[in-house]
Amino acid sequence: MQFCNLKKQYQELKPEIDNAIAQVLEHGMYVGGPEVGELEKKCTDFTGAKFAKACSSGTDALVLALMAYDVGAGDYVITTPFTFIATAECISLVGAKPLFVDIDPQTYNICPKKLKELLDTTDIPEDKIKGVITVDLYGQCADYDAIREAMKGHDLFLVQDAAQSFGAAYKGKNAGSQGDIGTTSFFPAKPFGCYGDGGMVFTDDAELDLKLNWLRNHGQNERYNHKIIGMNGRLDTIQCAVLNAKFDRFRYVEIKNRNNAADKYMALLKPLADAGKVVLPYVMPDSVHVWAQFTLKVEDRDGLMAHLQKNDIPCAIHYPKPLHMQEAFADLGYKKGDFPICEEMGKKVISLPMCAYKEDGEIEEVCEVISSFYK
Ligand SMILES: *Cc1c(COP(=O)(O)O)cnc(C)c1O
């Protein structure tokens, strides 16, 4: 069994994808070809964000967002320590410092109450804290109404790291459109992936969009006229062509497939949840999950992992070591015990095989093996 069967998806769409790539090879505009704009148009139509700019990765999307807000040395940006490192790495990359806030124990996303507490009690000067980066962990949007409420009265931007949640929705609006800037990733294993690295930046603000456009192309507003310092943050035409070919299948079939797989897991694991052995993922009301990961909180995780391995069932830990405990962030001065909920989850979460193309019987098999462990 595979954790995520990317080859199966390719086989399903082979003629469309091969043809889309062949067209790029023929027209020869390998960077900045017409497929880039096509993808951006599909992405604005889908998310409801006014503007979208394709870029080189989900990490670069975050860096571009912070560059657009001129975040730099001496500044702070608030985020969660329970995420992939890119969410906080981008803050350090532009010379600023991450300020961590613990997570909500049900959703594992940033806790709005603790966010407000930090803003109300910190002795860092108000004008040095520039904004908040939220993460839609495992493919479910954070609680944006509560987050906006917590940010009220403070002059802060909200960047939504939707790397895992492209295709999810919060109160009727698709992910990517909740922040002042939204970012996503098209890394192959994300819900909507290309065949290499890729990302997208979203905003409703025309001025920010223009700046993002310059930033991803060396700060150029016209050829060889560099208005600001930027970077090479463009997305290759071939990757855009692949995503265009996959877009409708993702939108109309794969999101449903992922939710059907999650529903099956939920039903089959309910007895174990009722018995207190595992905690099933919590889905917020008025929210569509896209299940980048199907992640349980379990007792005796080491034992369960060994048992799964013995039965040839792949699994993964997202994430074993919270960011405030990472050596790369040692200079921030955080210590063990600073974010107890996130530290507990790091020890108890386990992600099960998930993709839009699970074979018949695979989920049943995973659940049987898990049940046999807790018997
Ligand atoms: C994958 C991921 C990223 C980074 O995306 P890349 O395209 O791999 O650079 C950022 N944030 C989160 C939460 C992610 O899961």
Phi and psi torsions of 63, nearest 5°: -60, -45
Do 239 and 257 share a domain, yes or no? Answer: no
Q: Which residues contact 302 (CB under 8 A, 6 or more apart)?
A: none
Which of 348, 356, 351 is closest to 366 using CA atoms? 351
Nearest Cα neighbor of 242 from 313, 194, 190, 285 is 194
115, 216: one domain? yes
- End residue of a domain, out of 245, 267, 291: 245
- 211 lies in the same domain as 349: no
Asked, for residue 315, whether it belongs to a domain, the answer is yes
Task: Please tell me the distance between residue 352's alpha carbon and the centre of ligand 1 in angstroms.
Answer: 19
Determine the distance separating the centroid of ligand 1 and the alpha carbon of 271, expressed in angstroms: 34
Q: Which residue has the tokens 């997570």?
A: 103
Pocket test for ligand 1, best of 141, 185, 195, 239 (most atoms within 8 A of CB): 185
Query: Do 140 and 289 belong to one domain?
Result: no
Say how many Å lie between the CA of residue 198 and the centre of ligand 1: 10
The CATH number given to whatever domain includes residue 187 is: 3.40.640.10
The CATH number covering residue 356 comes to: 3.90.1150.10
From 53, 190, 246, 358, active-site residue: 190
Q: What span, in angstroms and rounded, lies between the C-alpha atoms of 163 and 309?
A: 28
Q: Is 185 in the pocket of ligand 1 (CB under 6 A)?
A: yes
Question: Is residue 286 located within the same domain as residue 341?
Answer: yes
**The pLDDT of residue 360:** 83
Residue by residue, pLDDT tens for the chain (375 residues) are: 999 999 999 999 999 999 999 999 999 999 999 999 999 999 999 999 999 999 999 999 999 999 999 999 999 999 999 999 999 999 999 999 999 999 999 999 999 999 999 999 999 999 999 999 999 999 999 999 999 999 999 999 999 999 999 999 999 999 999 999 999 999 999 999 999 999 999 999 999 999 999 999 999 999 999 999 999 999 999 999 999 999 999 999 999 999 999 999 999 999 999 999 999 999 999 999 999 999 999 999 999 999 999 999 999 999 999 999 999 999 999 999 999 999 999 999 999 999 999 888 999 999 999 999 998
Q: What residues contact residue 345 under an 8 Å CB cut-off, 6+ apart? A: 82, 103, 108, 297
Top mutation candidate among 55, 56, 82, 84 for ligand 1, by most atoms within 8 Å of CB: 84
Judge whether 1 lies within some domain.
no
Is the backbone peptide bond immediately before 282 cis, with ω within 30 degrees of 0?
A: no
Phi, psi torsion values for 185, nearest 5 degrees: -125, 140
3-state secondary structure of 224: coil
Q: What is the total count of domains within the chain?
A: 2
* Cβ–ligand 1 contact at 57 (below 6 Å): yes
Domain boundary, last residue among 183, 213, 245: 245
Nearest residue (CA) to ligand 1, atom 7: 58
Q: Is 358 a catalytic residue?
A: no
Residues 280 and 363 in one domain: yes
Given this model, what pLDDT does residue 359 score?
85
Q: What is the pLDDT of residue 321?
A: 97
Instruction: Please tell me the distance from the alpha carbon of residue 141 to that of residue 149, in angstroms, as a whole number.
Output: 16
- What's the pLDDT at 349? 98
Q: Do 276 and 177 reside in the same domain of the chain?
A: no
Closest atom of ligand 1 to 83 CA is 13
Domain that holds residue 81: 6-245
- DSSP labels for 310-355? HTT---B-S-SS-GGGSGGGGGG---TTSSHHHHHHHHHEEEEP--
Residues 201 and 311 in one domain: no
Ligand 1 center to residue 11 CA distance, Å? Answer: 25
Rounded CA-CA distance 85/106 in Å is 21
Between CA 153 and CA 213 the distance in angstroms is: 30
Minimum CA distance residue for ligand 1 atom 6 = 58
Neighbours of 26 (CB within 10 A): 7
- Entry pTM: 0.98
